[in-house]
Structure 1
């Protein structure tokens, strides 16, 4: 008997698959355009204009070339004799400043592992400032779920440098808890049980913004996660934004090709400036018109094979919740406790302050210096 999405008893997955199924053509077009170096042609003029305006602003503040096509160290008047020695392949300049790696290390500090107190249930979360952590609703659905988990920072391996000590925080939903089932996101307060051992704020944080133009189709995405509940990992290879759209029934979501594994739910999805553009929540398998799940050869897969060899299931893309939509939903949320509403307001103001993103990364520097 073939495996159908209906058999999996997951409303969340069925909704994700339905959204993606309607956009298979656009996603395939973007994948092909990435290989051809013409991904700009797949995005809307409005989104490209917002993206280019924002990139120009960031380039000015960082002292980098403004034109997206200009190499970092390209001569003003190229010598024709150099043709054939070096070149930008495709339409996008992929040269990055070397500090990209260091920024990534600091961005990773605030990403942690969520673990159930009884073990065997894992997720990923990340600090968002004000002593709060974000993950998926399906990871922490209720305050009771939250109380049964703990949040561990610094669960990572380092065999050639200083080993970062881990820090375990308890979760305090009484102080703050917000979950949105439709968006599949949750924000909860974490408690620094041992502030004398690397204070929580020294792990940094990530801000969420409603600003548009942070990323466009075909751009790389970087996903920091705890796959299978193991040590922290990052995806930077074969990882691109495949589809995003506005003013549709799926405007709250985006799709990308970066790898994830069980336990990655709640991971931050970054652009190349290490800004959070989405929160990962679902891997969407390929299906046919009958709703049957397909294997990597395009054939319907049986329940038995899927159960014993899940790696043979073909996936169309990973799906994440856009940060701009999370900010809007949090802003519109109603809270029974006035203290929770006040915490929400403080968090939104905190995110909106100029330079909040940079301050979050700089705060993580203190953790590395303290080791």
Structure 2
């Protein structure tokens, strides 16, 4: 997208060229940018004569480049059509190139937020092929001609190296007042090494688009000739065991530059001026990053840990005594992260910020490591690009490394935001797509034929599950007799079914009698189930930001968007019994640290995260006191049109329960892993268990479905469209339904996890095997797990009942019931919709 910035801002404000802009930025970022662009214009004071100046330097490959041919500029980077026909080779070293724009997706959000904060902001592109010192000198000539003064430089990645040269050429500070660097590789990075090793995903992405060159051609003919890229190799001062500037230390499988170029690059990197007291650093952490390399005959063997941002290791970013702040997030996403933007604005305004911490993550976290070979990285790059639509390259190649979506990983401290914009958007789309299925369920309910909404196969699975539960609960001869009669009727139905057999009436008898027999267990099972559900909190602040539940002793499951990384899990805890007592007192609960060093696994597609929990709480309580909820992988635990029950921590507050006023309404075939249901939830409920009436977990709740206007805008309780600027946590949104991840699909996914963890040398395989074994046992024998119910002391309580004391944050009225399902309170303790 080469249009003028003011033109693009105008399009965002007016809605013009929406399809084109959505394709370029992606829908979540486009929706956010439209609000920011409109707010920035409304906030502009036409009578303000001078606003503080901020110049934004993008990172490597973040500036658009054009080649001068016959005196005319021809856009090359990034023009996917030109690259398809080999245009990348036009950028080879020696060609005349000008930087005349910026790749917007990774930076436009921060650009607009700086404008909204009152800064006169503009991008400062440069030729990133050049040495940072050369680019810095060229930019200073430009700024001197413009007569600028009192400038704040905001720099991403390589831009921070360019700024070091710029600041050195302004020693009297007549022009540059402050410099804020974000993710800058002051002592290099292993990304260039992996480029020359042909194992970096970028090389595979370029080769996938270029129809005339393979990876070897691209690296050998173009990339390794760029001084700017070569100078970013890891500094031998910090990595003396692997001198990347010595060609003899490279394996024969790699394509490093010639020794002359390496020697010149090493000299230039050492000669680059050091930052002075105008500089402040924001450093990314918490993402799997290559931190070391060892050469052998087969290639490089790379050591990776989460002590970096995915591209720059933390220690290669930290520079001398420069004040620094730490943000969890991927290298290319840092400038779109809300916490980073907030810190940048505060630093530009006053030189100080509380938006980010000043301490790096715990050094113990370095134990979470893996070792991979060049070949493994190449294979991962192949898989990564093959699972994407390669036409997305047209938007921006940098979308691979500079994802514009502001994901939870980008936040250093978790929040109660709960549902991310992307999760909500996808849930809303799937909800609309399941409308026909939901209409069938509604019609069967209205016609008092509830079983008509299901197929005979699913009804048979449901009947078998009911009978197994009944058999497990049978303690008298009469009960066992009923169980055998029902199972006989079901088998007869299966053996004799044909086109003329009334399948549904037979199943109605089996299902009806089984449900009536089991209904008396509802309340007792609810008590046990509730104990295993906890609130996810920050260990530093105690603030809640999600829900989770135990799926085996000492193993917790929640959403990926609640705990996306092991680093987030290391800073979090789970709090059980954060609820109201039976006499309305507020219980303080028991807080257990999460232990990702023993197990952590997350999957974005299924929006799940599984993590180990410490065996003892801060107050000495044992994790075994809270039982667990087995993950039962078989189908048939519930049928469409039946009520679901949700135990949750809405808005990350005290535990609440939704009974009955919620129905399973759809199990979409595409994608084949979600369930739709009604009922009340709120942000903070993410990661809650969704139960059948038998209190077996049927889904992992992960998103609400918002009410929408005709043009797709989310509605608020006031009737106005949702404004993400004034309500980023979506508390004013009207939620009309919910979406969860089906447990049967989660179990199917986890079955291959132990082998994967063992192959990767990661801990926790035995814990996952325990989770699966307990789920299989529950599926096989139909028993419901019971947890030790510990008597809680109740000082100053108005009464002290004998026996065991249990609590539920709700009131239940029980009257005489007919032979159908029991009469239970409807959403007695549920939060208000929204």
For the superposition of Structure 1 and Structure 2, which TM-score range results when normalised by the shorter chain?
A: 0.7 to 0.9
Task: Name the TM-score, length of structure 1 as normaliser.
Answer: 0.80
Q: What residue number does 1:75 align with?
A: none
Superposed, 1:340-355 pairs within 5 Å as 340-353=764-777
8 Å Cα contact 2:602-2:609 kept in structure 1: yes
User: Of 31, 43, 56, which residue of structure 2 is paired with 1:7?
Assistant: 31
Q: What is the CA RMSD across the aligned residues, in angstroms?
A: 3.6
- Alpha-carbon distance in 2 for matches of 1:24, 1:355: 31
- Alpha-carbon distance in 1 for matches of 2:665, 2:777: 30
Deviation of 1:44 (Å): 2.1
Change (3 A) 1:191 1:356: farther
2:636 counterpart of 1:191: no
Q: Which moved more, 1:260-269 or 1:325-334?
A: 325-334
Deviation of 1:340 (Å): 2.2
Superposed, 1:97-116 pairs within 5 Å as 97-116=519-538
User: Of 117, 121, 131, which residue of structure 1 is paired with 2:554?
Assistant: 131
Deviation of 1:249 (Å): 2.5
Q: What residue number does 1:59 align with?
A: 470
User: Of 740, 743, 746, which residue of structure 2 is paired with 1:320?
Assistant: 740
Deviation of 1:33 (Å): 3.5
Change (3 A) 1:21 1:216: same
- Alpha-carbon distance in 2 for matches of 1:170, 1:308: 28
1:159-216 superposed Cα distances (whole Å, 9 cap, x missing partner)? 3399866211001101100111100011101103349944211211011021011111
User: Of 218, 227, 231, which residue of structure 1 is paired with 2:641?
Assistant: 218
8 Å Cα contact 2:634-2:779 kept in structure 1: no
Change (3 A) 1:302 1:127: closer
8 Å Cα contact 1:306-1:312 kept in structure 2: no
User: Of 246, 255, 269, which residue of structure 1 is paired with 2:690?
Assistant: 269
Q: Which moved more, 1:113-122 or 1:316-325?
A: 113-122
8 Å Cα contact 1:220-1:239 kept in structure 2: yes
Q: What residue number does 1:76 align with?
A: none
8 Å Cα contact 1:292-1:300 kept in structure 2: no
8 Å Cα contact 1:107-1:364 kept in structure 2: no
Deviation of 1:367 (Å): 6.1
- Alpha-carbon distance in 2 for matches of 1:311, 1:149: 23
Deviation of 1:300 (Å): 7.7
**Tell me, which stretches of 5 or more residues in structure 2 are unaligned?**
1-12, 16-26, 33-404, 406-420, 488-510, 793-802, 806-834
Q: What residue number does 1:329 align with?
A: 749
Q: What residue number does 1:278 align with?
A: 699
Change (3 A) 1:128 1:193: same
User: Of 789, 795, 798, which residue of structure 2 is paired with 1:365?
Assistant: 789
Larger radius of gyration: 2
User: Of 230, 239, 250, which residue of structure 1 is paired with 2:671?
Assistant: 250
Superposed, 1:158-169 pairs within 5 Å as 158-160=581-583, 166-169=589-592
- Alpha-carbon distance in 2 for matches of 1:329, 1:101: 32
Q: Which has the higher helix share?
A: 2
Deviation of 1:287 (Å): 3.7
Deviation of 1:32 (Å): 4.5
Q: What residue number does 1:82 align with?
A: none
- Alpha-carbon distance in 2 for matches of 1:309, 1:193: 33
SS of residue paired to 2:789? helix
- Alpha-carbon distance in 2 for matches of 1:341, 1:39: 42
SS of residue paired to 1:152? strand
- Alpha-carbon distance in 2 for matches of 1:224, 1:2: 43
Deviation of 1:292 (Å): 3.0
- Alpha-carbon distance in 1 for matches of 2:573, 2:614: 10
2:532 counterpart of 1:122: no
8 Å Cα contact 1:198-1:370 kept in structure 2: no
Deviation of 1:34 (Å): 3.2
8 Å Cα contact 1:133-1:190 kept in structure 2: yes
8 Å Cα contact 2:641-2:663 kept in structure 1: yes
1:17-53 superposed Cα distances (whole Å, 9 cap, x missing partner)? 2222211222233235435433321222221121122
- Alpha-carbon distance in 1 for matches of 2:533, 2:633: 21
Change (3 A) 1:127 1:308: closer
**Tell me, which stretches of 5 or more residues in structure 1 are unaligned?**
69-90
2:201 counterpart of 1:201: no
SS of residue paired to 2:679? coil
SS of residue paired to 1:209? coil
Aligned residue pair count: 346
